[in-house]
Amino acid sequence: MAKRDYYEVLGVGRDAADTDLKKAYRRLAMKYHPDRNDGDASSEERFKEVKEAFEVLSDQRKRATYDQLGHAGLDPSGGGAQGGAGFGDIFDSVFGDIFGNGGGRSGGRAYRGADLRYDLEMSLEEAVRGAEVKIRIPTLVACETCEGNGSRTKSAPETCTTCNGLGQVRMQQGFFSVQQACPTCRGRGKVVRDPCGACGGVGKARGHKTIAVKVPAGVDNGDRIRLSGEGEPGQSGGPGGDLYVNVMVREHAIFDREGSDLKSEVPIDFVTAALGGELEVPTLDGRVVLKIPPETQSGKMFRLRGKGVRSVRGGPVGDLICRVTLETPVNLTRPQKDLLRSFGDSLDGQADRHSPRASTWLTGVKKFFEDMKFP
């Protein structure tokens, strides 16, 4: 009998992703497995067909060959599953990730270390220019008492008799065969008969280590730096976890950062706003002169090109945006107050000329009340 199309067998499209293939296989394997269809020959054949289709399509090399040449392009000896595969094998390879065992079979399975997080507080100047910072983080280190051996007598660990060194045991739960870490050796495949009193036989203890972190120029608040392998050490020869350094930029007394731009509030006095003048304003590169034109209103923005930040993600250098705010004079002397009153009297009746915005606003208020209909 001619074989059916593998994509049709699994009920997926030819562009199906690996996750879609796995979902389809799980569903069909559970439905047609012989343990759930006792004595049903058609279900057993369907199960074999499903398993064969998945084994081909889940292998990138075989799938590419099949897509190009069909069934004829596959080596019959390496094709599908002919004969009844134990349900435990299916569970390990496809369903194992549900229970976190991943289907591992080798003894003393290696475990990746846990990831660590460190919040690095730094100044705006350091974040903009980059810096190398030494940080001290808590982590697991080799036990000083047993020198990392785990044994009080520093003797070599023995093979676990519960799992025979495999690190995992198989437990039957109805028609499920569940493979899990050995409870005696906790998945290591080895046991320490005379454990160290300081570390309990683990060989590791809590400690600290110092790491030099190179912070690239242009990082911003909330950016994260990943240091591969600098997290918790792995177990049984497994790789270490990663260290994630979260950048936290302290609030600056003068500047606020928005992307590649810097923003700053610049207070100016009444005379400078009215008559114009020059002000020295700070930038991260030094001082620059900001020219204030006559009749400058409070809130006006001035943009200084190229005086901002170059982002760590690239692109042009941003700008420094200065927002001027008019500062009302305080602690005036009597003669100064008299001068201001005289100045105010000289403007009386000339609001349209000297205060156009205020005049326009007052005109709008007057019209608002005239148009308002009171009950």
pLDDT of residue 98: 40
pLDDT of residue 105: 41
Residue with structure tokens 């019959």? 76
Q: In this predicted model, what pLDDT tens digit does every residue of 297-314 receive, in sequence order?
A: 999 999 999 999 999 988
Q: Which of 19-28, 330-339, 353-362 has the highest mean pLDDT?
A: 330-339
pLDDT of residue 375: 56
The arithmetic mean of pLDDT across residues 279-295, rounded, is: 93
Give a three-class secondary structure readout of 333-349. CHHHHHHHHHHHHHHCC
pLDDT of residue 14: 85
Consecutive H or E run containing 101: none
Q: Which of 32-36, 72-76, 225-229 has the highest mean pLDDT?
A: 225-229
Q: In this predicted model, what pLDDT tens digit does every residue of 208-257 receive, in sequence order?
A: 889 999 999 999 999 999 999 888 877 666 788 899 999 999 999 999 99
Q: In the chain, what percentage of residues exceed pLDDT 70?
A: 83
CATH number at 116-249: 2.10.230.10
CA-nearest of 114, 120, 161, 179 to 140 is 114
Q: In the chain, what percentage of residues exceed pLDDT 90?
A: 34
Burial 22-61 (b: 16+ CB within 10 A, else e): bebbeebbeebbbeeeeeeeebbebbbbbbbbbbbbbeee
Q: In this predicted model, what pLDDT tens digit does every residue of 85-120 receive, in sequence order?
A: 444 444 444 544 444 444 434 445 566 888 889 999
Does domain 256-326 match CATH 3.40.50.720? no
Q: Could you tell me if 138 and 232 are in contact, meaning their C-beta atoms sit under 8 angstroms apart?
A: no
pLDDT of residue 73: 67
Q: Are strands 176-181 and 256-258 parallel, antiparallel or unpaired?
A: unpaired
Q: In this predicted model, what pLDDT tens digit does every residue of 324-350 receive, in sequence order?
A: 999 988 899 999 999 989 988 887 776
3-class secondary-structure state, position 248: strand
pLDDT of residue 219: 94
Which range has the worst mean pLDDT, 75-79, 142-146, 276-280? 75-79
More confident residue, 302 or 44: 302
Q: How confident is the model at residue 2 (pLDDT cuts 50, 70, 90)?
A: low
Can you tell me the distance from the alpha carbon of 162 to that of 334, in angstroms, rounded to the nearest whole number? 96
What burial class does residue 166 get, using C-beta atoms within 10 Å of its C-beta: 0-12 exposed, 13-18 middle, 19+ buried? buried
DSSP 104-152: --SSS--BPPPPEEEEEEE-HHHHHH-EEEEEEEEEEEE-TTTTTS-BT
Structure tokens belonging to residue 300:
């006006």
Q: Which CATH superfamily is domain 6-85 in?
A: DnaJ domain (1.10.287.110)
Q: What is the pTM of this model?
A: 0.56
CA-nearest of 77, 49, 73, 47 to 62 is 73
In the predicted structure, residue 123 carries a pLDDT above the cut 60 = yes
Please indicate whether the domains covering 6-85 and 116-249 agree at the CATH topology level.
no
Which range has the worst mean pLDDT, 142-151, 154-163, 173-182? 173-182
For the chain, what are the domain ranges?
6-85, 116-249, 256-326, 334-371
pLDDT of residue 19: 83
